[in-house]
Amino acid sequence: MQAVEIDSLDRKILRLLQSDASLSATAIGEQVGLSQSPCWRRIQRLKSSGLIKEQGLVIDRKKLGFDTMVFAHVKLTAHGRSKVAEFGDTIQQFPEVMECHLLLGHVDFLLRIVTPDLEAYERFFFERLSQLPDVQEVTSSIALTEIKHTTELPI
C-alpha cells in the first residue's frame, strides 16, 4: 500500500479529526485558516484517498460492563498455518474479539478480547476460541490496568 501525500493543512485537519471526529468542516476550517468549502473538499479528498478509513466514536468499555480485557496469543498447528485466512475469517465473527493481528514469530495471532468478567472469558475460551480447527495453543494474558489507550496517530 502506497502512502498518501498530504501537506501541512491536511495534517492539521487530520489532527483535529482524530481528536474530535464530530467537528464540522466549518469548525475545522476556522482552526486551520480555511473557509468551510475548501476545508470540506480537503476532508472529502482525504476520505476518497482512503486515508480516513472511518469516523467513529470511542466508547468506554467499562461503563458498559466490559471489565475484562485479555490479550491472547494463538498458535496454529503446522497444518493449520495454511489456513491463516480461514482463521481470520472465523475470528471476525466473534464480537468479543476487538483486534486480531497476524504475527511473525513463535505465535501466529495476537487477539485483544473484551468480556464482562473472567467467567465470560473462560466460557469464550473453552466454548469458542479453543474449539476452532487447527488451534494448537492459546496463551492468555489478562490486562490489570490500562495505562494508555489512543486511536490518534502521531501526525
Neighbours of 93 (CB within 10 A): 8
pLDDT single digits (tens) 85-143:
999 999 999 999 999 999 999 999 999 999 999 999 999 999 999 999 999 999 999 99
Residue 88: name the closest of 140, 139, 137, 135 by CA.
135
Same domain, 76 and 37: no
pTM: 0.86
CATH number at residue 131: 3.30.70.920
Same domain, 30 and 76: no
Same domain, 72 and 28: no
Same domain, 85 and 30: no
Please tell me the total count of domains within the chain: 2
Same domain, 130 and 67: yes
User: What's the whole-number mean pLDDT along residues 63-74?
Assistant: 97
